[in-house]
Structure 1
Amino acid sequence: MRSPRQQTAARRTAVLSRRAVLATVPVALAALVAAAGPAAAGTNGSSGVGDPYFPLAGNGGYHVRHYGLTLHYDTGTRKLRGKAVLTARATQRLARFDLDFKGLDVTGLTVDGNAAGFSRNGQELLVTPRHALRDGQDFKVTVTYQGTPKSVTDPDGSADGWIRTDDGAFVAGEPQGAMTWFPANNHPRDKSSYDITVTVPQGRTAVSNGVLLGQSTAHGETTFRWRQSEPMAAYLATATVGKFKVERYTTRDGIQVYNAVDSRESSAAAPVLKKLPSVLDWESKVFGPYPFRAAGSIVDHAHSVGYALETQSRPVYDRAPDLSTLVHENAHQWFGDSVSLTTWKDIWLNEGFATYAEWLYSEQHGGDSAQKTFDGLYARPASNSLWAFPPGNPGSGAHIFDTPVYDRGAMALHELRRAVGDFTFFRILRAWAAEHRDGHGTTDRFVKLAERESGKDLHTLFNTWLYQPGKPGRS
């Protein structure tokens, strides 16, 4: 993700764009709490996974293996109808469980085909199945819903989720917004595969994640069927709708590219998007094989949104991106999407890595060296916002997209590079992406991997650059 603050503070683009647990399982289970009577002690799934910054995000007691989402969006009335089928497995005995779901009205809910009880409590949809679920039991939750989706306001004041545009919707869910358009287990710890089908008025395009399986038009409406096979966190799902010019092709490595560009942004976007294959090729050489079957870009005309997001396999931009933003968001496909967070406190593992990818790209394509970029940042006085807090502990959800996470996070990686040398440093990056592919990482795991690959004690380096307050001294 990229935000205006990062772009200004770290020479980012003129584009006002914000960037954006070892379990596997994301999105939605909708629900009803009721007829089965009070739950037995110790059999309710928790209403959050214990994230220190977003305590209600995600849910305990189950893992979603797959989301099947069928959506109908009327761009005239702004009404959304949806059906979410979640295929899940209980990880404890469950007399009741929660789903993250906010704003839309539930019109029906079943668990394994049987009507279930439900109630609402803020962002929580509490579901009581007719029969308690056994630990290890596979089950299926089907939720039907409708209404006018609205975005949520994040702790930093920005909006995410289903955001209205003049011709459709800009759908970007980091960190909380998935629950505005489908019932979800909405935390990066829970990753799943997805099938997303979206029907919109003829003339509009609905763009989602992964591979386009097909589209068809009938009775004045067009239906788009998308499949994201690799595991994905709920916040990385999109169903962006608008009037787009579409470009499709396959790279020499077999990656299926789908670009959707608002015509008002096409002239500015074209020269940058033309470089996407070469950017992916370069990133694959540096970080290891591209982790997904599909790639591409969604370039909307939604300047008020103020950010871009690394939606999995197909980043979404609020306007034509510059080259640095394109490099950043696609680097996230490795760092953030394929290798996901275990807690939002470790956000530097996403943003610091994607920012350092920009430095590396510049260095290897005739621009400033990473050392020169580092030196320019380090020259800022101790009172500068760059040193406001350590990137390994932003302190709250309000700061996870602030300058220190991006730039000081990248500076920590540069210090690692200086300490271990280029050969070992790039081996560490590739090992991180390979060993945690389709899974999760933590700062502690990254430090241990770096020490293993380098044979060095790196505790002091990481403690200084990730956790000590204030401006670090030069080594």
Structure 2
Amino acid sequence: MHRRLIAPGALAAASLLLAIPASAASYLPGAPGIGDPYYPYYGNGGYDVSHYDLRLTYQPRTDELEGTATLLATTTQDLSRFDLDFLLDVSEVRVNGAKAAFSASAPHELEITPAAPLPKGTSITVVVRYSGVPSTKSAYGFNTWHRTPDGAIAADEPESAWWWFPSNDHPLDKATYDVSVAVPDGTQVISNGTLQSTTSQLGWTRWNWRSNKPQATYLSTLAIGKFDITTGKSANGIPVVNAYSKDLGDEAGAARASVERTGEIADWLTGYFGPYPFSSVGGYVPNTTTGYALETQTRVYYSPRQFANGSNTSVVVHELAHQWYGDSVSLKGWKDIWINEGFARYAQWLWSEHEGEGTTQQLADYVYASHPADDPFWTVKPGDPGPDNQFDTAVYDRGALAVQALRNEIGDRAFFAVLKGWPQQHAYGNASVADFRAYAEKVSGKRLAALFDTWLFQPSKPAAPSARTATLTRAEAAPVRPKSWKKIEATNDVHGHAHGH
């Protein structure tokens, strides 16, 4: 936060300006959405958040959550009023210390009117006191707060924050986080980043987590329950924190056999994507009935169902690849989902090759051959799939085909330079498919508009690339399934919880 200093000589002029009230017309409400056409009411206009400080208390027995959220932000326009995305019951709001008027409006807006209008460029501190039972709240007919036998989980995409903290809920507004949660002794709290401390008093233990790099709201996570927590360091020195519900039953062994390889896999991915971008890495497996996994920043969420058929390092590879592609470099708009999912799926293909279970080209040939030209698979455009198809299998598999097509077009040297350079180019920021194409063209020296259009934006099956025609024609007659395919396919519904708003 920077405060503007006024030189002494300017004070007289400033006092004259203060005597003339700014035109009321210049102060307008911030938009109730950030401008994403897929989700018109997600995020908000008029301000930019730099930090969330969440100080919470949670009772697992009753699902009661209460707390205080302090947001540090800067106005981006002359602001008369602004919104936060939130569903719980608010008792008080303060803006820069002064009480502010507030009201809730559908579907998930908390409208805040500060005591005085806020000029553009003003540093603001917004304090929201709230309470509620998250499992009783819904928007658009769904709820992303997941109860467990011993607590609850917040992890979902493209939204989950509304159920536990007020926010500007869109990846364009990333911020750092301090998450402090008090729970009854014997219950643990898992969140993003690093555990700074725990303190116990009068039967309650407070867990203090810090995520010190910019983080999108949907990548924040909260897990409360009884966990077995393991800690360590990867061979490259990345701190690793994993957690497993103590009642995972038959899935417990396979979950540990997969997630305990997190450090090894993160180190392996640095060879393709460059240095690991965050302060820690890890995952947690709660006792939930959901079927998906999610790349919650530094602390991946896995459903026990990911391990129903035994260990699956492929899903771990997918979610850890997102730490670079999706978490450090986040999408500008939800239509840019290919940069997240196409590359996370391609990382699984690279892992398949590493494990000797099928090369990336063999996997590409198999996917291409498995879907005839009249398959609806080809009508989904990974470069702009629409909100109803945002997590369609085609975004993953056709998305990875596009990555392989890019590799074949520009050659391995340029391709791997792009793969590693992109996360550095846009570290901790946001980028679009158009930005990626421009970067790939710059690194490779090739024009790629036609290639990107064919593989990402045409609702039809691309012609087989000439260099691969013979292989692909044979493959279509009798596709050979790579050994890794079953494990890769098991992650096809990794984000199968999309709500289809």
Give the C-alpha shift of residue 116 in structure 1.
Answer: 0.2
Q: Which amino acid aligns with 1:220?
A: G
- Specify the alignment match of 2:450 in structure 1: 460
The answer on whether the counterparts of 1:59 and 1:186 sit within 8 Å (CA) in structure 2 is yes
Q: Which amino acid aligns with 2:404?
A: H
Deviation string, structure 1 residues 327-366 (Cα, Å, up to 9, x no partner): 0000000000000010001111101110000001111221
- Specify the alignment match of 1:89 in structure 2: 74
Task: Provide the secondary structure at the position in 2 that maps to 1:285.
Answer: helix
- Specify the alignment match of 2:236 in structure 1: 253
Aligned pair count reads: 433
The answer on whether the counterparts of 2:233 and 2:263 sit within 8 Å (CA) in structure 1 is no
2-structure distance, mates of 1:254, 1:82: 35
TM-score of the superposition, structure 2-length normalised?
0.84
Task: Provide the secondary structure at the position in 2 that maps to 1:449.
Answer: helix
Deviation string, structure 1 residues 175-223 (Cα, Å, up to 9, x no partner): 1221111100000000000000011122211100000001122222221
Q: Which amino acid aligns with 2:275?
A: P
- Specify the alignment match of 1:474 in structure 2: 464
- Specify the alignment match of 2:314 in structure 1: 324
Task: Provide the secondary structure at the position in 1 that maps to 2:438.
Answer: helix
| Mapped pair 1:426 → 2:426 | no
2-structure distance, mates of 1:152, 1:360: 41
| Higher alpha-carbon deviation: 293-302 or 265-274 | 265-274
- Specify the alignment match of 2:91 in structure 1: 107
Task: Provide the secondary structure at the position in 1 that maps to 2:328.
Answer: coil
Residue correspondence of structure 1 range 63-82 to structure 2 within 5 A: 63-82=48-67
The 1:187/1:471 distance shift into structure 2, 3 A limit, reads: same
1-structure distance, mates of 2:362, 2:139: 34
1-structure distance, mates of 2:454, 2:265: 32
1-structure distance, mates of 2:40, 2:172: 13
1-structure distance, mates of 2:412, 2:262: 25
Q: Which amino acid aligns with 2:94?
A: T
| Mapped pair 1:368 → 2:358 | yes
2-structure distance, mates of 1:389, 1:81: 42
2-structure distance, mates of 1:100, 1:274: 35
Residue correspondence of structure 1 range 110-189 to structure 2 within 5 A: 110-122=94-106, 123-150=108-135, 161-189=144-172
Deviation string, structure 1 residues 371-421 (Cα, Å, up to 9, x no partner): 1111111112123342231111212x2211111111111110000001111
Task: Provide the secondary structure at the position in 1 that maps to 2:241.
Answer: strand
Give the C-alpha shift of residue 151 in structure 1.
Answer: 7.9
- Specify the alignment match of 1:394 in structure 2: 385
Give the C-alpha shift of residue 252 in structure 1.
Answer: 3.4
Task: Provide the secondary structure at the position in 1 that maps to 2:42.
Answer: coil
Q: Which amino acid aligns with 1:287?
A: F
The 1:164/1:385 distance shift into structure 2, 3 A limit, reads: farther
The answer on whether the counterparts of 2:329 and 2:423 sit within 8 Å (CA) in structure 1 is yes
- Specify the alignment match of 1:290 in structure 2: 276
Task: Provide the secondary structure at the position in 1 that maps to 2:381.
Answer: coil
2-structure distance, mates of 1:57, 1:39: 27
2-structure distance, mates of 1:177, 1:275: 27
Task: Provide the secondary structure at the position in 1 that maps to 2:463.
Answer: coil
The answer on whether the counterparts of 1:81 and 1:147 sit within 8 Å (CA) in structure 2 is yes
| Mapped pair 1:212 → 2:203 | no
The answer on whether the counterparts of 1:120 and 1:126 sit within 8 Å (CA) in structure 2 is yes
The answer on whether the counterparts of 1:390 and 1:469 sit within 8 Å (CA) in structure 2 is yes
Task: Provide the secondary structure at the position in 1 that maps to 2:459.
Answer: coil
The answer on whether the counterparts of 1:262 and 1:301 sit within 8 Å (CA) in structure 2 is yes
- Specify the alignment match of 2:478 in structure 1: none
| Higher alpha-carbon deviation: 210-219 or 350-359 | 210-219
The answer on whether the counterparts of 1:214 and 1:225 sit within 8 Å (CA) in structure 2 is yes
| Higher alpha-carbon deviation: 135-144 or 378-387 | 378-387
2-structure distance, mates of 1:154, 1:470: 35
The answer on whether the counterparts of 2:234 and 2:267 sit within 8 Å (CA) in structure 1 is no
- Specify the alignment match of 1:6 in structure 2: none
Residue correspondence of structure 1 range 348-363 to structure 2 within 5 A: 348-363=338-353
1-structure distance, mates of 2:25, 2:136: 36
2-structure distance, mates of 1:471, 1:154: 37
| Higher alpha-carbon deviation: 134-143 or 246-255 | 246-255
1-structure distance, mates of 2:157, 2:137: 10
Task: Provide the secondary structure at the position in 2 that maps to 1:463.
Answer: helix
1-structure distance, mates of 2:39, 2:421: 29
Q: Which amino acid aligns with 1:140?
A: T
2-structure distance, mates of 1:82, 1:335: 32
Deviation string, structure 1 residues 81-100 (Cα, Å, up to 9, x no partner): 02100011111111111111
The answer on whether the counterparts of 1:328 and 1:358 sit within 8 Å (CA) in structure 2 is yes
Give the C-alpha shift of residue 266 in structure 1.
Answer: 2.8
Identity among equivalent pairs (%): 46
Give the C-alpha shift of residue 152 in structure 1.
Answer: 7.5
The answer on whether the counterparts of 1:152 and 1:176 sit within 8 Å (CA) in structure 2 is no
2-structure distance, mates of 1:245, 1:98: 39
The answer on whether the counterparts of 2:135 and 2:143 sit within 8 Å (CA) in structure 1 is no
- Specify the alignment match of 1:25 in structure 2: none
The answer on whether the counterparts of 1:152 and 1:177 sit within 8 Å (CA) in structure 2 is no
Q: Which amino acid aligns with 1:297?
A: G
Task: Provide the secondary structure at the position in 2 that maps to 1:253.
Answer: coil
Q: Which amino acid aligns with 1:186?
A: D
Deviation string, structure 1 residues 409-441 (Cα, Å, up to 9, x no partner): 111000000111111101001111100000011
Deviation string, structure 1 residues 256-291 (Cα, Å, up to 9, x no partner): 211110132431222212321210111011100000
Q: Which amino acid aligns with 1:457?
A: R
Tell me, which stretches of 5 or more residues in structure 2 are unaligned?
Answer: 1-22, 466-501
- Specify the alignment match of 1:299 in structure 2: 285
Counterpart of 1:381 (choices 345, 365, 372) is: 372
The 1:247/1:166 distance shift into structure 2, 3 A limit, reads: same
Give the C-alpha shift of residue 245 in structure 1.
Answer: 0.3
Q: Which amino acid aligns with 1:292?
A: F
2-structure distance, mates of 1:239, 1:59: 23
Give the C-alpha shift of residue 236 in structure 1.
Answer: 0.5
The answer on whether the counterparts of 1:160 and 1:172 sit within 8 Å (CA) in structure 2 is no
Question: Larger helix proportion, structure 1 or 2?
Answer: 2
Q: Which amino acid aligns with 1:368?
A: G
Q: Which amino acid aligns with 1:131?
A: A
